[in-house]
Structure 1
């Protein structure tokens, strides 16, 4: 256990040292915020892997995702029984077909406002706790739920208002992210609790690295989140038609 702990401490120090070495402006790095992020990541790793309540919570979330995948196979089996109800299921079917349910489900939850509500308040809490800019915190939580492409699309209005240094931060954070579709594939290859534990840890790590590599100082006036007007949003059933047309193509 002691050796395991020392290896992890050494890994964190090496990780931070490399980021500092390649930093664009070492003098303006906000070390207080970064230390809070590191401590938050350590706490999450401990809570989700070593604390009974954390393990219970992540197992329940994993059970929910597994249920979604099983439900998707029920639908796929109804339409393509020869592909699903077989002894040796093709890897393409087992890994990729559940995406046809999970990704549209995330899009629907975004449309009706469930995911935006969760993302908004988690982003605010993360910003308040760590001292990171509001939008960067908001975007990090967006990536955790929506993936890179969807998060960039949702935040396009905000991105047009950011200065180039902050856009670079967002671009680097985006490189650490995986989409809901890829997560579904991972869930078919690895135990769900490991995949779901890695997602929030990965997001916090992305914030740590970008804060060291590309430190940005912003004013209070700049630290805002642009509110997107929804007056042009399609009716729900039109949205469903467009969504499933995209899935089919």
Structure 2
């Protein structure tokens, strides 16, 4: 029965993407089918094989050690504020982002990241059937961040037609930056974080290939990549990435304070007026989506509430809510829901992406803002698709 529901869910997602397509006659089925099959295979390997277990343990161990190194810096500055063995979200989850940001800067400065992004992107373009630029951008979004990725293609961003710009923005919203992966792993199981990162990459291409299909002239598909650290000294770069990491931590902290407080206020008001919390109400709205993702109907309302929270606020708020009630879900539901949460698909991301593009090109920024809701629609379908793929193998 689980397989039947997952197949129905997969068809529903593809139909929803098809309904929003701007060029249905141009959709190419072969690369879409290949990427869906590849998603299932990768999810199975990562979650159900010894190799996958070893790989995920290795990745988790790397981030575990990185967080310990980051803790040395945090404790030096804020030592004594957190009791030994205690947990404060800002200190334990957000401030380590600064150290991860520094490592990304070093890898960027030493040309290691640009090399990986370019050649892995070229390989993925062979699978996805999309242009070299689109494939490079998806890898770059994953490694350098949602807004920083546009800096790496700033030489050509003003020359891009709206359809190619949409795909670049969609990749930035569907994936997550490596700078926050360690923070995610403190809130949900690392195996689901790693799996979501891998299959979201192809999910973004699948949904974009349906919603926004087009051909790229090979003669026009020139990959002009801007090295965002090439004109800086090493220590200038370190300072910039340290401050960038700090900005991310502070921005996320501010958003969490605002959103968590607002949700608490709205929940209280709804309880007084209607006798039901706002999140519980949203749970009923999103429960059918949770069900087609493979979550049992008995758990779909609670799961739907967390899904809605992620869309309206952000993934950190939703992950925090999930952590509080994780023991009320079955392991399978917990896995499906965790994968759904690993993305930047929320309303705030529309402003972040449009602002990043606008900072580089005023006109392109306005175009990105105009298709903001369609971006969010597509990125949310990517999250649902990834959860459905995982439901096949759990």
Q: TM-score, normalised by structure 2?
A: 0.59
Cα distance, 1:118–1:247 mapped onto 2, change above 3 Å: closer
The residue that corresponds to 1:96 in the other structure is 94
Does 2:200 correspond to 1:196? no
The residue that corresponds to 2:250 in the other structure is none
The residue that corresponds to 1:221 in the other structure is 219
The residue that corresponds to 1:26 in the other structure is 24
Q: How many pairs were matched up?
A: 247
C-alpha separation in 2, matches of 1:91 and 1:71: 17
- The higher-RCO structure (CA 8 Å, 6+ apart) is 1
Deviation at 1:161, TM superposition (A): 2.7
Cα distance, 1:150–1:76 mapped onto 2, change above 3 Å: same
Does 2:40 correspond to 1:42? yes
The residue that corresponds to 2:141 in the other structure is 143
Secondary structure, counterpart of 2:123 in structure 1: helix
Alignment of 1:1-249 (within 5 A): 3-228=1-226, 233-247=231-245
Deviation at 1:68, TM superposition (A): 0.5
Deviation at 1:231, TM superposition (A): 9.8
Q: Compare 84-93 and 52-61 and name the one that shifted more.
A: 84-93
C-alpha separation in 2, matches of 1:237 and 1:49: 40
Cα distance, 1:24–1:118 mapped onto 2, change above 3 Å: same
Deviation at 1:221, TM superposition (A): 0.9
C-alpha separation in 2, matches of 1:248 and 1:174: 20
C-alpha separation in 1, matches of 2:12 and 2:106: 42
C-alpha separation in 2, matches of 1:85 and 1:117: 43
1:34-60 alpha-carbon deviations (Å, 9 max, x no partner)? 112112211111111112212211220
Cα distance, 1:223–1:246 mapped onto 2, change above 3 Å: closer
Q: Contact 1:33 / 1:132 at 8 angstroms: preserved in 2?
A: no
C-alpha separation in 2, matches of 1:141 and 1:246: 20
C-alpha separation in 2, matches of 1:232 and 1:19: 40
C-alpha separation in 2, matches of 1:172 and 1:139: 10
Q: Segments of 4+ in structure 1 off by > 6 A?
A: none
Q: Contact 2:151 / 2:226 at 8 angstroms: preserved in 1?
A: no
Deviation at 1:88, TM superposition (A): 2.6
Q: TM-score, normalised by structure 1?
A: 0.90
The residue that corresponds to 2:392 in the other structure is none
Cα distance, 1:184–1:71 mapped onto 2, change above 3 Å: same
Secondary structure, counterpart of 1:196 in structure 2: helix
C-alpha separation in 1, matches of 2:196 and 2:31: 21
Gaps of 5+ in 2: 248-394
Cα distance, 1:229–1:69 mapped onto 2, change above 3 Å: closer
Cα distance, 1:207–1:231 mapped onto 2, change above 3 Å: closer
Gaps of 5+ in 1: none
